[in-house]
Each structure stands twice: as C-alpha cells, then as structure tokens.
Amino acid sequence: MISNHEIDYRIHGEEMQYVEVELDPQETAVAEAGAFMMMEDGIQMQTIFGDGSQQQSGFMGKIFSAGKRLLTGESLFMTAFTNIAQGKKKVSFASPYPGKIIPLDLSQLGGKVTCQKDSFLCAAKGVSISIEFQRKLGVGLFGGEGFIMQKLEGDGMAFVHAGGHVTEKTLQPGEILKIDTGCIVAFTRDINYDIQFVGGIKNTFFGGEGVFFATLQGPGKVWIQTLPISRLAGRILSYATNRKEEGSLLGGLGNLLDGDGR
C-alpha cells in the first residue's frame, strides 16, 4: 500500500480563513475546483479525473471514483498541485464562506472520517474522497443534508470547512449527542449516526427546529458547526424577500436608518 503524501500546513485568518500547504519536491496536494487561492513559482497545476487517490489503478477505477464524486454533487474533476522545483514551495486554499478550516490527520483518526458532502476543501494526494451511504432509510429521508455524505480515507492530512464557530467533542463509548443535522461537519469511523423523531404535536408544528434531529453515539470524535451554509442562505433569502415587501412608510424609514435612503 502506498502512503499518502505528508504535507505541512498553516491556517491563517479568523472569519475568512485559508490554509497554506508546504510541499516538498514532488509532493502533491489535491483540492476542489475553486478552492485555489495562490501559489509560489515552481508548483505545477494539473486537472485530474476523480479524487487523486494513488490507490486507484486503471481507467475503470478512475471512472468509478469520478462517478462517486458526481453522486455527492461535486465536480468530476479535481486539481492537483505538485512541487516540481528543487526546494519547498507553498500553495494556499481559501474557505468559500465565513467559518473555520478543520485539519484532519487521518492517521490519528482511524484512517476514516465521514463529513458533509460540501465541506471538503483539500488534502494530501493519496487521500480517497468518496461517498458514504447511510444504511438506515430514516437517515436518508430526514437527515436534512441528504442521504449521501462523503468519506475521507487514508493516512494523510485532509482539510474540511465549516460555517461559523466549530467545536470538537469526544464521545465516550455509549455516550449520545443529539444535534441538528445541518450542524454536523464530520465524525470518526466508530461513531453511530442515526435520525430520531421529535415527538409531540407542539414540537412537530411549532418547534421551529424541524421534527427530526441526529443522534451521534460514541466512541469517537465529532466536529460541529454553528452556522450551516443552508441556514445562512435561508436567512439571507428571507431578509431580501422581506425587505421588498416592507410598507412604503416603514420601509423607507428603515432604508434611511440603514443608510440606503436616496
């Protein structure tokens, strides 16, 4: 088995972070299309088919990997950044919206982490990025973020992005955490993920948080975000719609106070 490329990194910023990856000669990092921010001279960019895993062999293996990525809503292609110079070179990848970048050392996390399908940012070449089907039908129908999640496998570094503030929790064997499905960023391989119905007619119709939430049972680690992108987008859309529907008097006064009066 070929090990993943070992890469050094540094995370910069607070609300809008980026990760700076340092590559030794002939080392490679792979990233989602659109994640690239900047790089030093001596790094070669190349579009690759699939996830860039070195464990793939042959054309059919690449087709299968690309197909799995397509199922998660991601592009068929990724971008590989290889240091072809003599010394160390740096390449940086930016977060897509306000939040935090989470470094995951898969060699220290059991070789596998399951994450939300849109959270992956970049990784060392050799990390496999594929789909994780949830076994239980309830998870698929009511999981909030969809039936399909991503799994990151290997022994190298991977980076995922989450919205708002991120907290990491370690669950003991049998310990259960109940959480809004959209707030889950990632969890390790031994975590048992399920969906639970919130009983009671008041909770169902007036709870405001939906009728289902996730249950995560230890042992393992869980990463949780305070601001899922779906929630952020919903609030922005709601605000834009409500502003258009404001009455002329109050709406005009609101715009004046906001500095939009013309």
Listing DSSP states for 30-42 in one string gives EE-TT-EEEE-TT
β-pair partners for 90: 22
Containing 127, the helix (H) or strand (E) segment is none
| pLDDT tens for the 262 residues of the chain, in order | 344 567 789 999 988 899 999 999 999 999 987 899 999 999 999 988 765 564 444 544 554 555 455 544 555 678 999 999 999 999 999 998 889 999 999 999 999 999 987 889 999 988 888 877 665 545 555 444 445 788 899 999 999 999 989 999 999 999 999 988 788 999 999 999 887 766 655 655 555 555 667 889 999 999 999 988 777 777 777 777 765 555 544 455 455 445 554 4
- Structural tokens at position 90: 């740096």
- Superfamily of domain covering 8-226: Mitochondrial biogenesis AIM24 (3.60.160.10)
Residue 23 is predicted with a pLDDT of 95
Query: Reduced to 3 states, what is the DSSP secondary structure of residue 23?
Result: strand
Between CA 61 and CA 63 the distance in angstroms is: 5
Phi, psi of 152 (to 5 degrees): -110, 120
Kindly report the pTM of this predicted structure.
Answer: 0.76
- Structural tokens at position 17: 């972070």
- Structural tokens at position 148: 């399909």
